[in-house]
Structure 1
Amino acid sequence: MKYISLAIGITILLAYSMALWKWKRSEILPWFHTACATVASILIGAFTAIALFDYQESSKQEADRARYHALLSVEISGIRAHLLKPTGATVELDNLENIDIRVMHLRAEVLRDAGRSGLFDIQQSQQMLELAQSVEAWNMKTEGLIGALNAQSGQPQYGARIRWYSSNLESSREGLLEGVRWLSQNMELENYPAKMY
């Protein structure tokens, strides 16, 4: 459509120029001067508008990237602090076996949003999204552990389920910590001290 408009404009310009050339040759030079000045003004205005738009977009993207970077530093620091925290509770099973468990939910909202934003390179975005999915998996496993803890202790496989969830969460914890370390180093995130409440 834009090429059709351009072609129509050029055709009208040429037709008018030919008419001036044929019937009013004395006015052809001022006409070309006016036409060239008009086209130059339009081009300068268009290029200036495009340059300003690009500058505003890049400034906005840079500001958004800096904002996400700061928020990621805070969120990653909180996840790291929770995962490095000593075990939260000890459960005593019927056979007097003690199992240390971690019952906590983690948040990965900034990770997910930053990964989907398109402001970071592919590798960083992929790592953020994978880490957000791993946090969701952690939370599902935590819900499973809570369900197992809420079951009656006399049920079959009560201790085995708690041991399995506890060991599964421990291996997930190590994987999450590795992902947090990689992302922190790759994106040069700040490591803020986080308070546990």
Structure 2
Amino acid sequence: MSSQTVSTASSTKPLPEGWVDHPKIPITRRAVLAGVAIMILGVIGAVASIYARRTQLEKTMAFLGADAILAIQILPSVTLQLEPLGQVDGAQAKTIDLTGTPGLGHLRHALLDERHYDWQSRTDSSVQTLRSPETRFATVTFSDPKDHFAPATLNIELSQGWVSRAGADDRVRLIERAQPAVRHFLTVISNAKQAHYDNRAKEDR
């Protein structure tokens, strides 16, 4: 056996069992463009998904005003006044502090996002004009304990889902999907907070 044959045999390593030696696949310009197109479509899809989940504020900004939008978005102190069903005299209900309550972010989002309102229902009259034995009213106030920002107060008629800024002759109705969510949150959290207050009062006696 020649030295050349020995050298060739010693430099060749045995292949793993089941190895299939595929030929090299050429990377063409078309393949590169297809890969770039897929990547771009993925980015567009991700951006569209983020936009769809983002709170849309254009119409609610025009309805409530920029200061109210800011208050609902960021002010930490939140209070609720929930009137009994059918209270027609507008007497002030007991104030319940919702600050730090779990789920408060969902309430903020429900009141902010323009997609939660039926804008064709918007009319030039306040929520207070709807008072009747079948209505129930809630007043939600977003405020800053340090008074760096102006507070915002919303009047909400829970039976039919009407919303207006306090003192404004301008109201709009929540869509049917959003109405029970807002009503349920405010009612349940009010009952829970009241039960907590009652228990503390008993313990302090």
TM-score computed with the length of structure 2 as normaliser: 0.27
Higher strand fraction (1 or 2): 2
Q: TM-score, normalised by structure 1?
A: 0.28
